[in-house]
Structure 1
Amino acid sequence: MDYYDLIIVGAGPAGSTLARALEDTGKKVLIIDKQDFPRDKTCAGWVTPAVMETLGIDQKDYGTGRTLQPIRRFRIGMMGQSAVENDHGEVVSYGIRRCEFDDYLLAQVAGPKQLATPVKSIVRKGGNWVINDTWEAPLVVGAGGHFCPVARLLGDGPGGHETVVAAKEVEFEMTPDQAASCQARGDTPELWFCRDLKGYAWVFRKGNYLNIGLGREDNHKLTDHLEAFVEEMKSAGRIPADLPGRFKGHAYLLYAHAERPLVDDGVILIGDAAGLAYTQSGEGIRPAIESALMAADVIREATDYSASSLQTYGDAIAQRFGTRAADSDQGWQVPDWVKMPLASTLMRSHWFTRKVVTEKWFLHREVPPLETAV
């Protein structure tokens, strides 16, 4: 049996950030992930300057041999209406490919990694956790996304019926002909809200790569909504007529709707495993990074790993992201006050789409970078 001070299940941005943040503590940390890296991870994939600053990423270094698409504008609309385009006059975000970004962050971790290793069992034994009858630690951290096996230890929360966002998307490298026929521009992601306000679709060009997808607060007729959107974008010339491969599905929880606990005895959940994606946008990279750093602060100071000691982490999450409001009547992407037909009018407004949709809901420009840094 190999003993560690803590084991992190999931080597994505949350898991790798936590491991790196704990390297100066002397703690013996193991990262386990079911996949090898670099691994395919389809994601619209943009990171704000706040994330780059918090992680201390050298943009020149990262941009060498990797996709780093500066974003200065957004096209936003409601399906069936014309879009509104806003120029922010500066770089407000960066498009990345998750296969590159996640591998880059994991490569910064000097400690041991057990990749291409599915977690088949997690058993409580003598106050410790034993994973796959091989690795043992008093603390296990769930960083493996919505379906993280560590999150399953804590159940689905008080109600047991959390609202899950389902999404389908595709990302591919365009041929010269596809690139020439694609009107979507790299510095201008496109966001298209569903008319029932239960989700939105996107077209995001990152260099020579194109990402297209749609997410909704449940799986009801997701494929139908996606197919209708793709056909509309093809007809408008926004995307190439010939798209390769099939769209891949994934799921996640929105912060205000998630009910699963964040801590228990010897357990912490971070990132999408904790259900931290921003409620209005579904964006999860920044919450994943910040939750990992907040967890690192608590782990450094903890004298034991009881639920009461680890609750400091839950308090820090609530202070940073707000108190969860499990209101089943609340809309997904938009607050209650944005309703039809008002939403149709608002989505034609340059002020609303820029100041509220883009800068507040998607970029969170009013929120300063987390003070804790790796």
Structure 2
Amino acid sequence: MYDIVIVGAGPAGATLARLIGSKYKVLLIDKRDMENENPKKIKNKCCGGLLAPDAQKMIAQLGLGIPKDILVNPQLFAVRTLDLNNNLERLYQRFYFNMDRDKFDQWLISIIPNEVDKRLNAYFKSFTEISGGYEISYIYNGQEILAKTKIIVGADGASSKIRKLIAEDISSPEKYISIQEWYECTEYTPYFTAIFDEEISDFYSWVIPKDNYLLLGSALRPREDTWNKYNLLKAKLIKLGFTFENKFKTEGAYINRPKRGSQLYGGKDNIALVGEAAGAISPSSAEGISYALKSSLYLAQSLEEGIDGFLDRYNQRIKGIRLNLLIKNLKSPAMYNPFLRQLAMKSGLQSIR
């Protein structure tokens, strides 16, 4: 019998397990084998691997420091912004930690207390309500295993199975599919490139240097000629001088984009949602690590006073996240409306010459 079962061991789930693992009996489940020493057997997380200032602030607030072996070259202090609709280009100062995302997740798992039971390379199936809590079912080492728990936490990302099971009548964030390809590259690129093009997506695309690779990614509408639009993006960038040769790998994942405050959902009964499963991710940049860390901290704080009433306390705390998402949505038109973006970029405000 567990106090809490956490489904998902990304930044939200791993951080929550670390914060509550010494007080509660916790089971942590994730489909990735993140403790495997063979990196080829790890199911990669599709992510640009940039730690934004908000996420850096949360790392500091949690009393942590990033080990240097997680960082990769180059460290980035500028964003090259390409507006292909208006044929404009600007360079803006921004501060990102460029990192190996898989190593980052492995590090967060490595600092979880030993008291936490971890089932990595395991697949959550379902849950049923029982007296005193829930019985969950998951697949581990080819076998179906049942476990009883008082609380379930969904930290299972944009395609959260937990959210689907408890929130059929709750508005969900808009879904995009992220496609990202890695290409071998020896040319030095000292900035992160953000690309805006209405013909490709009403969100954005990116090029990120990472050691000896160049990552090309885009957040695209699903089922709207997705691969053709991705290839069109690649063709446009090649005409601008980018080189994409010797492809190393291709990744894909869904991304949530909350457009309304009601799409942030903390959970119900004794089931809570954190991180992107809750809809906590920036609608303007798709930055999610800071929200994952913040929501898991809020849930841990809500559990400090015990299990009774924890969800009410959690919902009170995430009101700040809801307000932040509202502000991000108000900011979005300046980035994603071609006319407003043209005015902002032509002004040269805050750009680097």
TM superposition score category, shorter chain reference: 0.7 to 0.9
1:216-269 CA-partner distances (Å, limit 9, x unpaired)? 355423323211111122232333334344x33211222334626312111100
Kindly indicate whether residue 57 of structure 2 is the aligned counterpart of residue 50 of structure 1. Answer: yes
Is contact 1:166-1:251 (8 Å) kept?
Answer: yes
Query: In the alignment, is residue 228 of structure 1 matched against residue 232 of structure 2?
Result: yes
Alpha-carbon shift at residue 4 of structure 1 (Å): 1.0
1:59-104 per-residue CA deviation (whole Å, 9 max, x = no partner) reads 4xx113653642211101212524211245xxx2201122111111
Unaligned stretches of 5+ in structure 1? 355-374
Displacement, 1:337?
9.2
Question: Which residue is equivalent to 2:110?
Answer: 107
Of 135, 143, 158, the match for 1:146: 158
The CA distance in 1 between the partners of 2:83 and 2:286, in whole Å, is: 17
Change (3 A) 1:163 1:303: closer
Deviation (angstroms), 1:296: 0.4
> What is the rounded CA distance, in whole Å, between the counterparts of 1:204 and 1:134 in structure 2?
42
Instruction: Sort the Cα spacing of 1:348 and 1:97 in 2 relative to 1 into closer, same or farther, 3 A.
Output: farther
Query: TM-score, with normalisation over the residues of structure 1?
Result: 0.79
Q: Does 1:14 align with 2:22?
A: no
Distance 1:313 1:339 in 2: 35
- Which residue number in structure 1 is paired with residue 342 of structure 2? 344
Q: Please report how far the alpha carbon of residue 323 of structure 1 lies from its aligned counterpart in structure 2 after TM superposition.
A: 7.3
Partner of 1:116: 121
1:145 aligned partner, one-letter code: G
**Offset at 1:162?**
4.0
| Residue of structure 2 equivalent to 1:360 | none
Structure 1 residue 136, shift from structure 2 partner: 1.1
* Cα pair 1:77 1:348 within 8 Å, conserved: no
Kindly indicate whether the alpha-carbon contact (under 8 Å) linking 1:71 and 1:188 is maintained by their aligned counterparts in 2: yes
SS of the equivalent of 1:198 reads: coil
The answer (yes or no) to whether the contact 2:158–2:254 under 8 Å persists in 1 is yes
Q: Which of 94, 100, 103 in structure 1 is aligned with 2:97?
A: 94
Distance change in 2, residues 1:94/1:162 (3 Å): closer
Q: Structure 2: which amino acid aligns with 1:85?
A: L
Q: Deviations over 1:250-305 (max 9, x none)?
A: 11222334626312111100011111111111111110011000110001113415
Conserved? CA contact 2:7–2:13, under 8 Å: yes
Please report the TM-score for the alignment, with normalisation by the length of structure 2. 0.83
SS at match of 2:164: helix
* Alignment check: 8 A CA contact 1:78 1:195 kept: no
Change (3 A) 1:158 1:336: farther
CA distance in structure 2 between the partners assigned to 1:212 and 1:139 by the alignment: 40
Contact 1:217 1:332 in 2 (8 A): no
Greater percentage in strand: 2
Q: How far has the Cα of 1:338 moved from its partner?
A: 6.2
Identity of aligned residues (%): 23
Partner of 2:186: 179
Give, in whole Å, the separation in 2 of the partners of 1:236 and 1:280.
25
1:335 lines up with 2:333 in the alignment: yes
Unaligned runs of 5+ in 2: 35-41, 138-144
Contact 1:68–1:94 (CA under 8 A) maintained in structure 2: no
2: CA distance, partners of 1:353 / 1:128: 54
Match for residue 21 of structure 2? 23
Q: Is the 8 A contact 2:175 2:222 kept in 1?
A: yes
Partner of 2:320: 319
What amino acid sits opposite 2:26 in the alignment?
V
Kept after mapping to 1: 8 A contact 2:71/2:98: no
Matched, 1:158 2:170: yes
Contact 1:5–1:139 (8 Å) recurs in 2: yes
SS at match of 1:239: coil
Contact 2:4 2:25 in 1 (8 A): yes
Cα pair 1:77 1:347 within 8 Å, conserved: no
Indicate yes or no: 2:255 matched with 1:249. no
Counterpart AA for 1:70 = Q
Q: Which amino acid aligns with 1:320?
A: I
Answer with 37-46 or 111-120: which moved more. 37-46
* Contact 1:21-1:296 at 8 Å conserved across structures: yes
Separation (CA, whole Å) in 1 of partners of 2:178 and 2:275: 17
Which residue pairs with 1:169 in the alignment? Answer: 180
Tell me the residue number matched to 1:34. 31
Deviant stretches of 4+, over 4 Å: 330-333
Corresponding residue of 1:362: none
1:211 aligned to 2:211?
A: no
SS at 1:138 equivalent: strand
**Is 1:45–1:96's contact at 8 Å kept on the other side of the alignment?**
yes
State the AA in 2 paired with 1:13.
P
Report the counterpart of residue 265 of structure 1 in structure 2. Answer: 269
Q: Are the equivalent residues in 2 in contact too, given 1:17–1:293 (CA < 8 A)?
A: yes
1:282 and 2:248 are equivalent in the alignment: no
Aligned-pair Cα RMSD in Å: 2.7
